[in-house]
Amino acid sequence: MAKEIRSILLVDDDPDDRLLFEEALSKANGAVALQIAIDGIDALEKLKTGSNHFPDLIFMDVNMPRMDGISCLKEIKRLIDLSKIPILMYSTSSYYRSECISLGAIDYIEKPTDFQKLCDKIKTIINTDYFLPA
């Protein structure tokens, strides 16, 4: 049986996208705790200081200031303590899909433009074992 997703770290610099994600997650499964990071540097700081409780899944935007999602993905996969956390890259463009998958992301999804599609996608991800190994 796959690991149950109880906590998610969302890494996204756009406040509107963060709010939509939070609302969609609440609609999909209100029991999943959400932590927010505004860029890759913020995410790494939160992950490195939260060694007692890592998120079950990371949703990470690709294009962000200070440290983009690809650089953060590389750094997380380089660090032994963090490397097993599943990371799903989440962006408005599919341009970096192959690169992110080759660097260790479990999947790469385009941000849905429709709120219901976002809710459905999040619900599928957190309520199935599609992304997580048994």
* CATH code for the domain in which residue 32 is found: 3.40.50.2300
Task: Give domain status of residue 58, yes or no.
Answer: yes
Task: Give domain status of residue 60, yes or no.
Answer: yes
Domain range enclosing 114: 8-127
Cα distance between residue 59 and residue 36, in whole Å: 10
Task: Give domain status of residue 133, yes or no.
Answer: no
Cα distance between residue 95 and residue 5, in whole Å: 28
Task: Give domain status of residue 51, yes or no.
Answer: yes
Task: Give domain status of residue 24, yes or no.
Answer: yes
Predicted pLDDT of residue 61? 96
The three state secondary structure string of 70-131 is HHHHHHHHHCCCCCCCCEEEEECCCCCHHHHHHCCCCEEEECCCCHHHHHHHHHHHHHCCCC
Predicted pLDDT of residue 131? 55
Task: Give domain status of residue 96, yes or no.
Answer: yes
Q: Is 75 exposed, middle or buried (0-12, 13-18, 19+ CB in 10 A)?
A: middle
Task: Give domain status of residue 2, yes or no.
Answer: no
Average confidence (pLDDT) per 10 residues, the chain, 134 residues: 77 95 88 93 91 85 95 94 91 92 93 87 78 48
In the sheet that holds 57-60, the strands lie side by side as 33-37, 7-11, 57-60, 87-91, 107-110
Q: How many domains does the chain have?
A: 1
pTM of the predicted structure, to 2 decimals:
0.90
Task: Give domain status of residue 118, yes or no.
Answer: yes
Predicted pLDDT of residue 89? 95
